[in-house]
Amino acid sequence: MSSTRETALDLISFIDASPSPYHATAEALRRLTKAGFTELAQADPWPSGRGRYVVVDGGSLFAWIVPEGATAGSPFRLLGAHTDSPTLRVKPRPDTGRAGVRQLGVEVYGGPLLNSWLDRDLGLAGRVVVRTPEGPRVRLVRVHRPVLRVPQLAIHLDPGVREGLKLDAQQHVVPIWSLGAPDPGGFARFLAAELDLPPGDVLSHDVVTYDLTGGTLAGADEEFVSAGRQDDLVCSHASVTALCDVAGGDVAGISGVPGRPATEHVSAVVLFDNEEIGSQSATGARGAWLGRQMERSVLARGGGRDDFLRSVASSLHVSADMGHATHPNYAERHEPEHWITLGGGPVVKVSANVSYASTAPTQAAFLLAAEQAGVPVQYFVNRSGVRGGSTIGPIVAAGLAIPTVDVGNPTLAMHSARELSGTADGAMMVAAMKAFLAPA
């Protein structure tokens, strides 16, 4: 097993390689392929036998292991997370500006702490649809240099800022990127040049901004991971790492190690896009995408609709998303009997109003996995009278009627351009997830 520090550094590598959801699934696919997974196309027939498989659709991914002992009705042990993070997304016709400065129009994606995006060197990343002789094709683009910046207004011109910064997303969060008058079509030509294409070959784009400062270990004794997009690339990394480790350790019965019993459940990971904006999209948790992949896996093994429904009924889903650590400067905002510590281990999230999908039986399943892995567990409950956020957990649980537990790793500055988590927590979550996929 990798050390705590090695796991944290690998997490940072994963985050740095994933400036957009599309890059996140590309990096996850690279790691899964290295672990022996075969990429399948959604429009092609799927194999019926045992093996390791993965499907990618934009910023969403589904990977699964069919073990030797699996049947058409075998249950799933599913790890779920999401690839998107709050950011600034470039508008379709973004070229604007004033006062001799060229700017890019952006739209706020999700619920970022807007102040954290000010005065940062920003790059660009995402997907671009380009014209080819064979028809439109999707290309990934990444501009890893300081091409954008949202400068803050000087305090001399806004003395009231001492009493609190107020930002209008339309007016005050417009990055600058060049000098001169607005240049209609300039951004499309810029993308074409980055992709080494003729100027007219860029048809459309899904491009976001990201902070160029890479992730790092921080603190007096490197107790913290400081990086952007930890919500929810931390749990995406843990899920993919656990599935790769399970496959590589043969605990899923793939390569038939003598004396090692094969499991009968299907170990799987789903990474969703669009969680930060409500999950209602073609590849989001609120749609049919996950259920379709799971059912196709059952059908490929010779099962029918009833086999799929029986499989889901006996399955377990761990919805993994970042959780709030107790902020030392705002401790009064937290439930006093459920303080959460960075470095204290995975958090089980519970909500009486079902903002989280955890139930007593599903909590027990994760607690047993953590116990098997020798990992401590913390509990998160919102302060009474505070609704708080939610996750893919209740959405997937309701949409598929699949037993679900909501968990996560603790973090500070959630939805900031740069978040803070515990160095030790990454390895503990990986260990708990591995035990969940391969219970003793």
Residue (of 282, 284, 252) closest to 270 by Cα position: 284
Regarding whether 177 and 64 lie in a shared domain, the answer is no
Regarding whether 28 and 132 lie in a shared domain, the answer is no
Regarding whether 59 and 106 lie in a shared domain, the answer is no
Q: Which amino acid is it at 175?
A: P
Regarding whether 166 and 104 lie in a shared domain, the answer is yes
The answer to whether 357 touches 393, Cβ cutoff 8 Å, is yes
The answer to whether 324 touches 334, Cβ cutoff 8 Å, is yes
The tally of domains found in the chain comes to: 2
Across the beta sheet with 323-324, the strand order is 216-218, 224-227, 419-422, 410-412, 323-324
Q: Is residue 221 part of a domain?
A: no
Q: Is residue 233 part of a domain?
A: yes
Regarding whether 266 and 143 lie in a shared domain, the answer is no
Regarding whether 317 and 401 lie in a shared domain, the answer is yes
Q: Is residue 217 part of a domain?
A: no
The answer to whether 89 touches 206, Cβ cutoff 8 Å, is yes
Regarding whether 103 and 76 lie in a shared domain, the answer is no
Q: Is residue 222 part of a domain?
A: no
Q: Is residue 184 part of a domain?
A: yes
**CB-facing half-sphere around the CA of 269: CA atoms within 13 A:** 35
Regarding whether 320 and 413 lie in a shared domain, the answer is yes
Find the helix packing angle between 392-400 and 289-300, rounded to 10°.
Answer: 50
Which residue, 161, 183, 211, sits at the end of a domain?
A: 211
What's the rounded Cα separation, in Å, for the pair 63 and 318? 15
Regarding whether 63 and 49 lie in a shared domain, the answer is yes
Q: Is residue 113 part of a domain?
A: yes
| Residue 417: both structure tokens together | 């351009």
pLDDT in tens, the chain (440 residues): 468 999 999 999 999 999 999 999 999 999 999 999 999 999 999 998 899 999 999 999 999 999 988 999 999 999 999 999 999 999 999 999 999 999 999 999 999 999 999 999 999 999 999 999 999 999 999 999 999 999 999 999 988 888 889 999 999 999 999 999 999 999 999 999 999 999 899 999 999 999 999 999 999 999 999 999 999 999 999 999 999 999 976 544 443 333 444 568 999 999 999 999 999 999 999 999 999 999 999 999 999 999 999 999 999 999 999 999 999 999 998 888 899 999 999 999 999 989 999 999 999 999 999 999 999 999 999 888 777 788 999 999 999 999 999 999 999 999 999 999 999 999 999 999 999 999 98
* CB contact set of 234 (below 8 Å; sequence gap of 6+): 11, 15, 225, 322, 409, 411, 421, 425, 426, 429
What's the rounded Cα separation, in Å, for the pair 331 and 310? 45
What's the rounded Cα separation, in Å, for the pair 53 and 109? 31
CATH of the domain at 139: 2.30.250.10
Q: Is residue 220 part of a domain?
A: no
Q: Is residue 66 part of a domain?
A: yes
By residue range, what is the domain housing residue 41?
A: 4-85+228-437
Regarding whether 280 and 396 lie in a shared domain, the answer is yes
Q: Which amino acid is it at 102?
A: R
Regarding whether 336 and 278 lie in a shared domain, the answer is yes
Which residue, 211, 236, 255, sits at the end of a domain?
A: 211
CATH of the domain at 360: 3.40.630.10
What local confidence, expressed as pLDDT, does residue 250 receive?
53
The answer to whether 81 touches 240, Cβ cutoff 8 Å, is no
Which residue, 211, 240, 267, sits at the end of a domain?
A: 211
Regarding whether 148 and 76 lie in a shared domain, the answer is no
Residue (of 407, 110, 410) closest to 279 by Cα position: 110
